[in-house]
Amino acid sequence: MNDLDNNSRRVLLIIAAAAVIALTLGFSITRLFGENDPAVSADSPPSPANGTDVVGLLPNSEDELRQAVAVAEEFTAVFLSGDDQRAGELATPGYADMLAAGGAAPPVLGEEVPPSAADVEVAAEVTGIRDLAADSVTYLVRADVTAPDAGEQRFEYAVNLARSDGAWLVNGFQDAALGDAGAV
């Protein structure tokens, strides 16, 4: 009787193994060669990513974004070099008033404030986009500030721009780390 139990167990194990192998092969074959591939299904709607230019999905044209980049870089350079008049021209009226009152110095986290003088050289470059909407954009701008006494220092700023009468104007300027999640 013991041999009969062992034989029936072996038969059941062989049948179970054969069933698992058959199911695995069947599933693999239908996945590899099946006609029910969801990527090719006639019922699926066309994806906007298939053959669509990503820039076309943005709320602003590439030229508009380039204009905003130029304003962000120029504002950063003139603001840090002390050209208050030009900085005011590149700002929205309300923000220009804050600049004129002297209350709009960019808050800086954990780094000393860059010197602001006429003999300071500033090289500003947009390094990324933090936020983008139809009439506003926030760029991340890296500023390399060279002063005769202090040498070269690097700062990162977030420059908020708003479109007003077809032109991009700055309406906010702050240390880039202030808007980052986890900034201390």
Question: What's the confidence (pLDDT) of residue 182?
Answer: 43
Query: How do the residues of the chain divide into helix, strand and coil, expressed in percent and rounded to 5?
Result: 40, 25, 35
Which comes out higher in pLDDT, residue 106 or 32? 32
In terms of pTM, does the model score above 0.75? no
The answer to whether residue 84 scores a pLDDT higher than 90 is no
Exposed / middle / buried, residue 55 (Cβ in 10 Å: 0-12, 13-18, 19+): exposed
The answer to whether residue 47 scores a pLDDT higher than 70 is no
Which comes out higher in pLDDT, residue 22 or 56? 22
Which of 38-42, 129-133, 149-153 is least confident? Answer: 38-42
Closest CA to 138 of 125, 128, 151, 123: 128
Question: What's the confidence (pLDDT) of residue 117?
Answer: 56
Tally the C-alpha atoms within 13 A of residue 124's C-alpha that lie toward its C-beta.
23
Cα dihedral 135, 123, 114, 101, rounded to 10, equals: -40
